[in-house]
Amino acid sequence: MLTKRIIPCLDIKDGKTVKGINFENIKNVGDPVELGTYYAQQGADELVFLDITATNEKRKTLTELVTRIAKNINIPFTVGGGISSVDDVSALLNAGADKVSVNTSAVKDPDLLDRLSKQFGNQCIVLAIDTKFDEVEWFVYLNGGRVATNIKTVEWAKEAVRRGAGEILLTSMNNDGTKNGFALDITRKVSEAVSVPVIASGGAGSMQHFVDVFREGKADAALAASIFHYKEIEINELKIFLKKNNIQIRG
Amino acid sequence: MGNVASVQKALNFLNIENVISNNSDIINKSGYIILPGVGSFSQGMNNLKKYGLVDLLTDQVINKKKPFLGICLGMQLLAQKGSEPHETNGMGWIKGEVIKINTKEKRIPHLGWNSVNVINSRYFSDLTSLDFYFIHSYHLKVKDPALVSSTVNYGIDIVSSVQKENIFGTQFHPEKSQSAGLQLLKSFFEINA
């Protein structure tokens, strides 16, 4: 049986792991390769590395870091941040990344998803969506959550999958950094609207939150950062807890 | 073909000397051949043809019986034909075809960790775990059930590995499957040593 995935996310700035509360107040929490290796040993099913400053600083690739990661870690990993062209993706995949995630660039140029999936196959193209609930509706936000749009999240997810996204990484900005749990309603809505796997992100604070997002949010994978970085939850303990709650888990 | 870098890194980790090449002299001299691959079936075949590798690999693997491992698309290309994105002839070493996964309840691609059911234990006997990493939307339907070495359940039973004499192919990615994957790669080299 296919298992639910636990994915630590490592936000990267200048080659270092960082985590911001609501994407601000950035603090260093370690070396990406060291931390990634630790998580893999603890039973992480995949890793995500996001260069959170890339969109602003127009930095193109993390090729050197990706090469180091691939050399040391033998579970799948996704790299994102400032990716906007076939050439960017080609460089990262050749350096050893398994998947890449695109966000702002795909909203601005939706055809990018068609070009990427045609060239590399949709299995390695992850669409990241930063979403925020605005009184009545969940909308898509750009540039690490700083720029609002009038695009509805579910509609964008559906279009992206039609164009070639092979997976959706959905981050709720309302929940991110709060430790009050994942956004179950929008995760479930996106999950039911698309045929590809959905990774829920933002708000994990307890082990029960993971049970909730798999059961009620219908997520295929759950991503978190601070609770792992600060060892508030250890991945091996989380997996034991999930198994006890009858969630299908590897290991 | 995308995951070739990851395969190389896994081999380096196991201290297995390796080279990434499409050069006929190097391939002729090699002791083993691994064909990784991600992307579409037709693109994969076009690339093999472009570099003259179909005849070369057929000579090495079918005539000279060199140990061969195909991974993911590299396994699928062994079939007689594929359908991604349109019907294309494969290398035809394994009778069967590659079709889109058709299971209404489930998500496509079949993506993540799933445990395999071992049918032929040749390469699987010493493994401490049978959880492997899968990422694919198409699967290989094999005509001769005797060639199926393991299956994986995803609503339907899917062929997760094939074995025929010196030919071994895995739908999953051993290079991404942590200790189980490394053990499997190691046993491929040891058993064929």
- Cβ within 8 Å, pair A74-B178: yes
Give the pLDDT score at A121: 84
Distance CA A195, CA B104 (A): 10
Q: How many angstroms separate the CA of residue A12 from the nearest CA in chain B?
A: 21
- Cβ within 8 Å, pair A196-B108: yes
Whether A209 is covered by a domain: the verdict is yes
- Cβ within 8 Å, pair B39-A93: no
Distance CA A181, CA A206 (A): 7
Residue B173 annotated in active site: yes
Distance CA B80, CA B86 (A): 14
- CATH architecture, range B4-191: 3-Layer(aba) Sandwich (3.40)
Residue A196 near residue A153, CB atoms below 8 Å: no
Give the range of the structural domain holding residue A11, as residue numbers without chain letter: 5-244
Give the pLDDT score at A16: 77
Residue A146 near residue A104, CB atoms below 8 Å: no
Is the Cα dihedral A62, A67, A69, A74 positive or negative?
A: positive
Minimum-distance CB partner of A74 among B134, B137, B181: B181
Taking the CA atoms of chain A, what radius of gyration do you get in angstroms? Answer: 16
B110, B136, B139, B173: which is the annotated catalytic residue? B173
ipTM of this complex prediction, to 2 decimal places = 0.89
Distance CA A170, CA A196 (A): 12
B72, B84, B97, B110: which is the annotated catalytic residue? B72
The tens-digit pLDDT sequence of chain A (251 residues) is 899 999 999 988 877 777 544 334 434 456 788 888 889 999 999 999 988 755 454 454 478 888 889 888 889 999 998 899 999 898 888 888 999 999 999 999 999 999 999 888 888 999 999 999 998 999 999 988 899 999 999 999 999 999 999 999 999 999 999 999 999 999 999 999 999 999 999 999 999 999 999 999 999 999 999 898 888 899 999 999 999 999 999 98
Whether A15 is covered by a domain: the verdict is yes
- Cβ within 8 Å, pair A197-B109: yes
Residue A216 near residue A239, CB atoms below 8 Å: no
Minimum-distance CB partner of A74 among B13, B106, B131: B13
Structure-block tokens of residue A25: 């107040």
A51, A88, A130, A212: which is the annotated catalytic residue? A130
Give every CB contact of residue B98 below 8 A, 6+ residues apart in sequence. B41, B76, B79, B81, B82, B83, B84, B90, B138, B139, B140, B141
Average pLDDT of chain B is 93
Whether A216 is covered by a domain: the verdict is yes
Residue A120 near residue A159, CB atoms below 8 Å: no
Mutation to test the A interface, candidates B9, B12, B132, B185, most A Cβ within 10 Å: B9
Beta bridge partners of A5: A221
Whether A250 is covered by a domain: the verdict is no
CATH of the domain at A24: 3.20.20.70
DSSP assigned state of B41:
H
Residue A130 annotated in active site: yes
Distance CA A233, CA A44 (A): 12
Query: Residue ranges per domain, chain B?
Result: 4-191
- Cβ within 8 Å, pair A3-B40: no
Residue A88 annotated in active site: no
Count contacts between A and B (CB, < 8 Å).
93
Whether A26 is covered by a domain: the verdict is yes
Whether A106 is covered by a domain: the verdict is yes
pLDDT at B54 over 70: yes
Name chain A contacts of B176, Cβ cutoff 8 Å.
Answer: 74-76, 98
- Taking only the tens place, the pLDDT of each residue in B61-93 is 999 999 999 999 999 999 999 998 889 999 999
Give the pLDDT score at B156: 93
Whether A34 is covered by a domain: the verdict is yes
Indicate the number of domains in chain A. Answer: 1
CB count, 10 Å around CB of A62? 27
Whether A251 is covered by a domain: the verdict is no
Q: Does B111 touch chain A (CB under 8 A)?
A: yes
